[in-house]
Amino acid sequence: METNLCVAGFGGQGVMTLGKFLATATCDSTDKNVTFFPSYGAEQRGGTANCFVVISDEAVGAPLGDVMDDLIVMNGPSLNRFIKTLKPGGTLFINSSIVSEETGRTDIKVVKAPVTEMALEMGNSKVLNIIMLGVYIGFTGVVSPEVVWDTIEHKLGKKPKLLPLNKEAFEKGLEMGRSQR
Amino acid sequence: MSRVFMKGCEAIAEAAVRAGCRFFAGYPITPQNEIPEYFARRMPEVSGTFVQGESEVASISMVYGAASAGTRAMTSSSSPGIALKSEGISYCAAARIPMVYSNISRGGPGVGSIQPAQMDYLQATKASGNGGFEMMVFAPASVQEAVDMTYKAFDYADRDRNPVLILADGVIGTMMEPVVLPEMKTEEEINEIKNAKKVWSCTGHKLDYKNRAWIEPGHWLTSDMQRANEEAEKLYESWKADVMVEEYETEDAEVVITAYGISARIAKSAVNILRKEGIKAGLIRPITLHPFPYDSFDKLDYKKVKAVLDVEMSIPAQFVQDVEIAIKDRCPIHTCLCSGGNIMSRESIIEAVRKIYS
């Protein structure tokens, strides 16, 4: 069993952090093989950002596969660029606040979450990635939510003030993901 | 042993620290910036020295100096930066100074592209600088291997009094993977290693002018120079005993893929898929690029092997030159290539094998 995930969006949307948290949680809590591979460009901010996470019972071959089982898109350009890599029957997680384009596909599952709006409602636009991580975990159950939260807590350890906000963001995401199962 | 989730570059740096490396000098370049960045944070914790040099040439020269004093020392760069360091690398090889360096390679030639590539094969294995010196070259295919090789590289360097190269690429350097880290060498062990080098290193010999150490990257007398070259040649020949290779599903293989580093890892997963389809594919993965595992190709059953497929992220192909030497015209060689920062796709390998098979 191998899951290939691509996370894509604008630089600054926390795309890399989302992937890294998921991969780290998998490493910490399971015996599975897991890789995180960031696609890197020359940009420091702005532009597009994407990363690949592979979770597998076997040794991971390519840390970025040709075909994705799951795809998380945080903006329109990412949808256009990566939608063709999603396998039939795969799941698309979409930031429905700003992605209005149609996928043009009927052979995939679509999980919509208006994470930009949800983050703004919570008073901090930066937590949209944590909400989306919650949605992904809530829907797929690929790793237990407790472990993912432990990872987030550990990574944010130096900034404890941010914890309550992130906890709320993660919980809201989980709920939204679970409700669309 | 507990595993930690680490980025290739950071894991390489941590492995070096654990091996007793206490001097690092480097100059920033993508995609290996996390190596100097990690050392900058880590070295003060172990009373080591980190220097961001004013250039690549300055950095390798500092490593040359530190290693000449018996300290385990390292530098790192990526393709164009490694080219700049070739002067110092050649000096270390000439003076028989043990040091370790890593090339987290990217597209080329010239400034190339910042994305992963395998375009420094010939530079790494045949001519990393002037004068025909040679080095052991390791090619990790995972973060774990990068860690294990870096740790061992310091032992090989000290054993041979010669530079050792870890040739990785932008994927291995920037990807994160679970790793089990090796033991941290104790201060006593590190001192012991350093003391063992006192017979040749410049650690201060008080006023004993007669027996003081000299670091000589060349010789005025032609007879001395030739003797040094002959001694080096003996060393290089001794490496045949150090060959490391992975032979995967090769016994009954009809198509043998050969690749190193990240390409080999992707090729291995292609072999697994092809085997499930009933296609008898196999893989020869050199782990040491120099010495090259020529013998692995002699073991193949050429009555069965239809062709060997060379897979590498370099156009034109470079690694294939050693494969040609190994195959000695016993079967056709095909290539599956990409370059410029494009990463080898498993699908294209599978497609290339199917084509040979049919």
pLDDT of residue B1: 62
Average confidence (pLDDT) over B196-211: 84
By CA distance, what is B347's nearest residue in A? A66
Residue B316 burial class via C-beta count within 10 angstroms: exposed 0-12, middle 13-18, buried 19 and up: exposed
* Nearest CA-CA distance, residue A99 and chain B, Å: 28
What is the arithmetic mean of pLDDT over B60-80? 98
Domain covering B245-357 assigned CATH 3.50.50.60 in the classification: no
Closest CA relative to residue B295, chosen from B252, B334, B236, B242: B242
Q: Out of A35, A40, A58, whose CB is closest to B177?
A: A35
> Would you call A121 helix, strand, or coil by DSSP?
helix
**What pLDDT was estimated at residue B21?**
98
Among A27, A28, A36, select the one facing B175 at the smallest CB separation.
Answer: A36
Q: Which of B350, B32, B357, B4 is nearest to B177 (CA)?
A: B4
Find the closest chain B residue to A60 by CA distance: B269
Listed by start position, the domains of chain B span 4-196, 245-357
- Smallest CA–CA distance, residue A49 to chain B, in Å, is 14
Q: Which of B45, B104, B30, B108 is nearest to B74 (CA)?
A: B104
**Cβ–Cβ < 8 Å for B331, B308:** yes
Q: Do A62 and B266 touch (CB under 8 A)?
A: yes
Is the model's pLDDT at A39 over the cut of 90? no
Kindly tell me if the per-residue pLDDT of A26 is higher than 90.
Answer: yes
Q: How far apart are CA B242 and CA B144, in angstroms?
A: 20
- Token readout for A36 is 């995180």
Label residue A40 by pLDDT band (50, 70, 90).
confident
pLDDT of residue B208 exceeding 90: no
The CATH class that applies to domain B4-196 reads: alpha beta
Predicted confidence (pLDDT) at residue B73 exceeds the cutoff of 70: yes
A108 CB-contact burial (10 Å; exposed 0-12 / middle 13-18 / buried 19+) = middle
Give the separation between CA B142 and CA B137, rounded to whole angstroms: 16
Average pLDDT over residues B80-89: 98
Tell me the Ramachandran region of residue A32: left when phi exceeds 0, alpha when psi lies from -120 to 50, beta otherwise.
beta
The mean of the pLDDT values for chain A is 94
A22: nearest CA partner in chain B:
B5
The whole-number average pLDDT for the span B181-210 is 91
| Residues within 8 A of B (CB atoms), A 90-119 only | none
**Of all residues in chain B, what percent carry a pLDDT higher than 90?**
95
Q: Given phi > 0 = left and psi -120 to 50 = alpha, else beta, which region is B205?
A: alpha
Element containing residue B224 per DSSP (H, E) = helix B222-238
Inter-chain residue contact B114 with A27, CB threshold 8 Å = no
Cα end-to-end distance, chain A, whole Å:
20
**Predicted pLDDT at B85:** 98
pLDDT at B130: 97
How sure is the predictor about B210, in pLDDT bands with cuts at 50, 70 and 90?
confident
Mean local confidence (pLDDT), B50-70: 98
Residue pair B122/B347 in contact (Cβ under 8 Å)? The answer is: no
Name the token pair of B147.
């860690």
Q: Between these two residues, A160 and B237, which has the higher pLDDT value?
A: B237
Contact between residue B154 and residue B71 where contact means Cβ atoms under 8 Å apart: no
Q: Which pLDDT belongs to residue A1? A: 86
In this prediction, residues A22-42 reach a mean pLDDT of 91
Between B204 and B309, the higher pLDDT residue: B309
pLDDT for B3 = 93
A54–chain B nearest CA distance, Å: 10
- Enumerate the H helices of B95-186 as residue ranges: 121-125, 143-160, 170-174
Confidence of residue A44 (pLDDT cuts 50, 70, 90): low
Count of H helices and E strands in chain A?
Answer: 6, 6
Question: If pLDDT is split at 50, 70 and 90, which confidence band does B321 have?
Answer: very high
A155 touches chain B (CB under 8 A): no
pLDDT band at B108, cuts 50/70/90?
A: very high
Mutate to test the interface with B, among A66, A85, A87, A155 (most CBs of B within 10 A): A66
CB contact under 8 A, B266 and A20: no
Burial classification of residue B26, based on how many CB atoms lie within 10 Å of its CB (0-12 exposed, 13-18 middle, 19 or more buried): buried
pLDDT score, position A43: 64
Q: Please give the single-letter amino acid code of residue B170.
A: G
pLDDT value, residue A167: 97
Mind listing the domains of chain A with CATH numbers? 2-179 (3.40.920.10)
Whether the CB-CB separation of B52 and B68 falls below 8 Å is answered with no
Give the CA angle between residues B134, B140, B143 to the nearest 5°.
Answer: 145
Residue A44: is it exposed, middle or buried by C-beta count within 10 angstroms (0-12/13-18/19+)?
exposed
* In the predicted structure, residue B230 carries a pLDDT above the cut 70: yes
Residues A137-150 have pLDDT tens digits of 999 999 999 999 99
| Residue A47 forms contact with B (CB below 8 Å) | no
Residue in B148, B121, B125, B127 with CA at minimum distance from that of residue B136: B125
- Going by pLDDT thresholds of 50, 70 and 90, the confidence category of residue A47 is confident
- What ipTM does this complex have? 0.94
Note whether B4-196 and B245-357 share their fold.
yes
Name chain B contacts of A62, Cβ cutoff 8 Å: 265-266, 269, 343-346
Give the least confident one: B51-60, B93-102, B201-210, B284-293.
Answer: B201-210
Pairing of strands B4-7, A109-113: unpaired
Question: Cα distance from B356 to chain A (closest Cα, Å)?
Answer: 21
Residues of B with Cβ-Cβ distance to A41 under 8 angstroms: 114
Instruction: Give the pLDDT confidence of B15-31 residue by residue, as tens digits.
Output: 999 999 999 999 999 99
The predicted pLDDT at position A157 comes to 86
- Least CB-CB distance to B176: which of A20, A58, A59? A20
Measure CB to CB from residue A62 to each of B3, B5, B346 and give the nearest one.
Answer: B346
% of residues, chain A, pLDDT over 90: 85
**CA angle, corner A11, sides to A91 and B10, nearest 5?**
95
Q: How close is the nearest chain A Cα to the Cα of B179, in Å?
A: 9
Q: What average pLDDT does the structure give for chain B?
A: 97
List for chain B the helix, strand, coil content (%; round to 5).
45, 20, 40
